[in-house]
Structures are given as C-alpha cells and as structure tokens.
Amino acid sequence: MKQLLQMRVPIRVVQALLSAFFFVPLALVALISRFSRVGWQSSPTLSFRLAFGGAPIINFAHWARIMQDAGWEARSYATGFFSIHSRNDWDFVASPAPESPLSAARWLISCVYLMAQALWRADVFFFSGEGFLLSPLQQIKLELALFKIGGKKVVVLPYGRDAYVYRRIRNPSNVHCLQTHYAASSRNQRAISSRIDYYVQHADCFIPGSMGPDGFGRWDALLASHLCINLDLWQRLKPWTFDGPFKIVHSPNHRGVKGTEFLIDAVKQLESEGYNIELLMLEGLKNEEVRRVLTSEASILVELLIGPGHGLSAIEGMASGIPVISNLEDDDHFLPFRRWSFFSECPIVSASPENIYATLKKLIENPQLCATLGAQGREYVIKYHSPEACKYLFESVLEFLTGRKASLLDLYHPLTSDYVKRSPRIVPPLEKNRLKLN
C-alpha cells in the first residue's frame, strides 16, 4: 500500500486492488460460516447472532449492549471511536488510527480481520449508510456480496451525514444548514446517492427514522427515532424546581444544523429584559460530564432549531426529566409519524430560529408547565426509547427477516399496536408539539 501511495496511484484504484485481494479469503469465511449455521433461519425459535456497528456511531454500541443484556448473542464493532467516547464502549475496535501510510495499512488489515470475525460469528448485521467494517474500501457491493454468500441478513439504519442526498431534501433550510456544517458532502452527492440507492434496493430491512420523508422512497418500519438509552444512567437527581438561575443547556457541536447563533441571540434578549437565566454550552465534554449537568443542573435543553427531528441528546434530556426543545415545525414532514406511529405522544417542544425567544420566555414564566413536560418526557423515553423498547423493535425486525411478521409498517400504529397500548397514552399540553405563545 505504501508503494502504491508513493506512486500516486488514484485512491479508487488502491481501493479496488485491496478489495480484490481481501475478497476471496473473506468470501471463503462467509461460505464456511453459512454451512456451519444452515437451518438457523427456519428454526422454531429465534437464535440469531447479532453484529452492530461499522462507523463509530455510539447508537450501535448502545443497541448491542441492550440486546446483550436481553440475552442475545450480540457484539458491537467499530472502525474507530470519537474522543468523547471510550474504547470500552465497543466490543471490538479496529486500531490503530490511520495517521500515516503504514498505520493506515495496519488499520485496514485490522478492519478486514474484524470483518472475517464478524462473518464467522454473526447472522444479522446492523449498520449505517456508510457500510460495515469494509467501509474504508468504499466497496459496498462487495461487502453485501459477502453477506449474501454467507446467508447473512442486513439491516441499514442511517443516521444523517451518511445518507442525506441534499437535492432530495424537501426543506431548503435543512439543505442550507447541512451545507454549512457538512460542506464536503455537498460535493460528494453522486457517491452518497449511489450508495444509499443500493442499500434501499438490496438491504433486507431499511429504517431511516425521521429522515424517511426526504427522498429515500422506502421505510420498513415507521418511527421518528429508533434511538435507545440506559435509563438507569439517566435519572433526575432531584425533582425539577425553578430555584435560582434558569439554566438553559445546549451542545453547540454541528452549529449550522443546531442554529446555535439564534439561541445565543434569544438568551441575550431575555437577559437584557431581566430574566434570571444562564446559558450552559456543553462542547467537547465526555458523556459522564454531560450526564451530570443534565441530571443535576439543567432547567431545559435546547437541542436544535433548524434540522428537523431530534437526536440522542433530546432523549437524554427527556430521560433526565427536563423540558426539551427541538425543531418539529414541518407538519407535512412529521404527519406520518404522528398519524401512523407514536410521535403524537412526544412532549418535545417545537421551536425555530423565529420563535425560540418567545418559546423560552413562555417556559421560563411557567415553571409548572416545565415540570409537567419534564415528567412526560421521562415517561415517553421509558415507553419508546428504553432498553425494553429497543428489545421490542429489534426482535420485531428479526421476526420480519424470517417472515414471522409480514410487515413492520404498523408496528407502532396508535390504534392497532399492542406495544403502544401496553401503557397509558401520553398527552402533552402541546398542539403538534407547539406551545400556545399568544
């Protein structure tokens, strides 16, 4: 590899040569694995071995750990990990980081080794729109061929940057904020489109979450978010009270998507009017420190004001028993999730750059409303984003993969879903997630 780089061989040629070199032994591993597990798909009981990961997105580590605790043989794999996370979050991580041509070669070999291990050990693979452990080679067709040779099943769960095709996004503001923070992706749209279209066509299950209305053309399960967390770690250390400064918490990473500058401006306006408030910016902190602030100090969490939907941070805020603000303004986008899924129970307060000032003012002046929303947020996470909810979702996916379930589209239908009816319906004091501001 070092010699190829010194010869200035195009990176695509290097990737193709390496893919061809590694494909045959990996295919052999996949083939042997297939025959070692013949009959597992027709077993009267579910006995899948699960692999989560590829890209170092922490959600996959959470899902694997939850399924492990539920009694499944599940493992998490990653091509690396981000500084805010720990190596111990993952079961297997390729290393070292590719800082030089030689370390890049070792890293790639490590990815291939873990791929062979996963092919041997797992039956169902859950990964993002970037692919699994061979994503550095950018050869998703070869990777899917290996899964097919081994009789494996593939579940694709996009997270954002891996899958958004900007020209297909319905909301121009979302396109703008994505280009603000992910400018490089705007020049790589053809490759992203080709990769996602291939997964849409060939994945055994495709669950894009709230991204679904933006041109994917397929979702096998309809839910605005499939993220889950450990509720034991995220608990309010004391009841929500409005004593002292009203602490507004915000994580300013991905500022273009989150609309951080609009929040800062709104807080300055409120401070100039004499409101006793404090803006806490959580940036570059370890998860343990973020958890401490949310569960013991925060009065409210403002997650994002431009990009639609919500992420893991909002779920952590709700689990911590505090009101959460995010952008749920696009009624057309969220109508399917409210009508055919559980999103009408979500107590997140919707806000945009244009009304964040009025939204914060309303909440600051109504501490009882904040307490109600915080309590409902905790209930909502318990019902739809807890380990039990994760287990229900992925076990339903596994039943779908073997034909035990004909469809997942009504998995959370508010009128017909047994899971939705397991606990009382949550009724937030909101209209389509909006406060009455006038």
Evaluate whether 92 touches 78 at the Cβ level (below 8 Å).
yes
Evaluate whether 318 touches 347 at the Cβ level (below 8 Å).
yes
Interaxial angle between packed helices 312-319 and 287-296, expressed in degrees from 0 to 180 and rounded to the nearest 10: 40
Total Cβ atoms within 10 A of residue 73? 14
Reported as a single tens digit per residue, the pLDDT across 215-252 is 899 999 999 999 999 898 898 877 776 677 899 999 88
Residue 283 φ/ψ, nearest 5 degrees: -135, 125
Cα 362 from chain centre: 30
Evaluate whether 95 touches 88 at the Cβ level (below 8 Å).
no
| Rg over CA atoms, the chain | 22
Q: Quick one: pLDDT at residue 220?
A: 97
Q: Quick one: pLDDT at residue 99?
A: 67
Evaluate whether 82 touches 55 at the Cβ level (below 8 Å).
no
List residues bridging with 249 in a β-sheet. Answer: 280, 301
The Cα 287–Cα 274 span in angstroms is 33
Reported as a single tens digit per residue, the pLDDT across 203-224 is 999 999 999 999 899 999 999 9
Q: Quick one: pLDDT at residue 6?
A: 43
Domain range annotation of the chain: 2-35+49-211, 246-386
Amino acid making up residue 247 = K
Total Cβ atoms within 10 A of residue 377? 27
Q: Quick one: pLDDT at residue 7?
A: 39
Coil, helix or strand at residue 51? strand
Reported as a single tens digit per residue, the pLDDT across 155-209 is 999 998 889 999 999 989 888 888 887 888 888 889 999 999 999 999 999 999 9
The Cα 15–Cα 73 span in angstroms is 32
Which residue in the block uniquely carries the two structure tokens 């040779």? 149
Domain 246-386 CATH superfamily: Glycogen Phosphorylase B; (3.40.50.2000)
Evaluate whether 428 touches 371 at the Cβ level (below 8 Å).
no
Q: Quick one: pLDDT at residue 89?
A: 84
Coil, helix or strand at residue 415? coil
The Cα 345–Cα 376 span in angstroms is 9
Q: Is the pTM of this model over 0.75?
A: yes
Average pLDDT by consecutive 10-residue portion of the chain (438 residues)?
42 55 62 61 65 91 93 91 73 76 76 86 94 84 89 93 90 87 84 94 96 92 94 83 84 82 96 95 84 92 92 95 96 96 98 96 94 96 96 96 94 96 96 90
List residues bridging with 287 in a β-sheet. Answer: none
